[in-house]
Every structure is written in structure tokens, then in C-alpha cells.
């Protein structure tokens, strides 16, 4: 997915290795919930790539990810917990992105599952809590878990479903405010016996996916 996790912010003693690293080395929404309220826009032109970030407390910043690491770190510090290992460097991800898995992956999430979880919590949940690549609808809640090990065709794209996505506390945070206001993990455990939401897939055949494309389980 273009620009998905194309950059990451190192924390603590972590260093840029030029290779994939585990998510514990980076600034994350599960440790710094206010990060979940950051929105991003990218623009690429003859002068390179620019990222505009916005946050309800920090306002707006536009930067060049290739040269403005210090500027970004300074902007992030007031909204990252002081007791956590601190952010210090913006790095470019290796080819394939810096996904939670050690392989390039797409996340596929279900709106039916989201509605079921919201019903269990007694509140409507914003899909942005779960940071999904692809959202699908028209299935039963959590039916996507039955696709593990199967191949999906969506438009011209063919995907191999690898595993379920185990969730962290980032999903408890309201993406408008950066405040934790929904115990998503507890609800998943109590109602479904796990803390999984969504599935992860490898791309077997690339291409374009359009809104309202259908999914075929092969």
C-alpha cells in the first residue's frame, strides 16, 4: 500500500538499521495515546515529499521527512509520555514498510465486526481506531477469521490471508481527542474470548483496488 508505514520514529536506544524492526522500537499509540489524534497528509512534487501533520493540541506542522527529523521530534515531545523511552529520530522504512509483521502485509478489517464490537461496548466506534488498510462490509461479524490460509481476489489484486491481528491499547483511544475512552480489549475478551480484530494478508498479485470492489474467496 503506497506510503503505508513508510516512515517511523525511533525511541530510546533504538537505531536505524536499514532493515525491518519490531514495533517496540518506535513511538506508538499504545504507549502514547495522544499520537492517535495525529492526522497526516502527504504531497509529492518536483521538490520531494512533504508531510503535513495536525493534532488538536499541537496544531499543524509541514516537514520534509528526509531532512526535518529534529523538527518532528520537537513537535511530538509534548504529546508523548515523559516516562516512556523518548522519540529521537525519524527514519525511512525499508522496502515493504515497517509493518507490525516482519513481512510486507495488508490489514483487512470488517465493518460488521466493528459494529458488533461497538454494540458490545454500547458505543459507536470510529474505524480509525484500528488503522486498517482495507475495510470490507457484507459479511457476518468476525467471519473474516475463517479466511486464514485462503486466497482472496479483490479487483485485480490477489491476497494470501496469513493470520489474525492481535490488538493493543491503541484501539482504546478516540482518534479525535487522543483520550482513551473505550475498553476494546476487555470487550473482545469478554464477548469473543480473544483480543483479535482484523486479518493480515500478503500480496500475491498486485494491482488497483476500487471502492465497492467485491471479494472472492478462492
Phi/psi of residue 40, each to 5°?
Answer: -135, 140
**Angle, helices 111-121/184-192, rounded to nearest 10 degrees:** 100
**How far from chain centre, in Å, is Cα 156?**
23
CB 34 within 8 A of CB 80: yes
Please report, for the chain, the start and end positions of each structural domain, with discontinuous segments joined by +.
7-92, 106-217
**56/42 Cα distance (integer angstroms):** 19
Tell me which residue of 95, 100, 7, 109 sits closest to 53, measured CA to CA.
7
User: Which CATH code is given to the segment(s) 106-217?
Assistant: 2.40.33.20
Mean of the pLDDT values across residues 82-96? 91
Q: What does pTM read for this prediction?
A: 0.91
**62/116 Cα distance (integer angstroms):** 38
Q: What is the pLDDT of residues 23-45, one digit of tens each?
A: 899 999 999 999 999 999 999 88
β partners of residue 55:
59
Tell me which residue has cell 497528509. 41
Q: What is the pLDDT of residues 99-149, one digit of tens each?
A: 777 777 899 999 999 999 999 999 999 999 999 999 999 999 999 999 999
Amino acid at each position: 500500500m503506497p506510503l503505508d508505514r513508510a516512515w517511523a520514529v525511533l525511541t530510546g536506544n533504538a537505531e536505524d538499521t536499514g532493515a525491518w524492526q519490531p514495533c517496540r522500537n518506535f513511538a506508538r499509540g499504545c504507549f502514547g495515546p495522544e499520537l492517535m489524534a495525529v492526522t497526516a497528509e502527504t504531497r509529492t512534487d518536483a521538490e520531494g515529499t512533504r508531510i503535513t501533520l495536525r493534532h488538536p493540541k499541537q496544531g499543524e506542522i509541514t516537514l520534509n521527512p528526509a531532512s526535518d527529523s529534529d523538527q518532528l521530534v520537537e513537535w511530538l515531545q509534548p504529546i508523548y509520555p515523559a516516562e516512556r523511552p523518548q522519540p529521537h529520530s525519524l527514519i525511512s522504512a525499508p522496502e515493504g514498510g515497517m509493518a507490525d509483521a516482519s513481512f510486507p502485509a495488508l490489514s483487512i478489517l470488517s465493518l460488521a465486526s466493528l459494529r458488533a464490537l461497538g454494540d458490545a461496548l454500547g458505543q459507536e466506534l470510529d474505524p480509525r481506531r484500528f488503522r486498517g488498510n482495507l475495510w470490507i462490509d457484507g459479511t457476518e461479524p468476525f467471519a473474516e477469521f475463517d479466511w486464514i490460509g485462503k486466497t482472496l481476489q479483490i479487483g485485480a489484486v490477489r491476497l494470501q490471508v496469513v493470520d489474525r491481528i492481535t490488538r493493543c491499547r491503541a484501539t482504546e483511544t478516540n482518534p479525535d481527542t487522543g483520550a482513551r475512552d473505550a475498553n476494546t480489549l476487555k470487550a473482545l475478551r469478554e464477548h469473543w474470548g480473544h483480543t483479535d480484530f482484523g486479518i493480515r494478508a500478503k500480496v500475491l498479485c498486485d494491482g488497483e483496488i476500487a471502492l465497492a470492489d467485491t471479494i472472492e474467496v478462492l
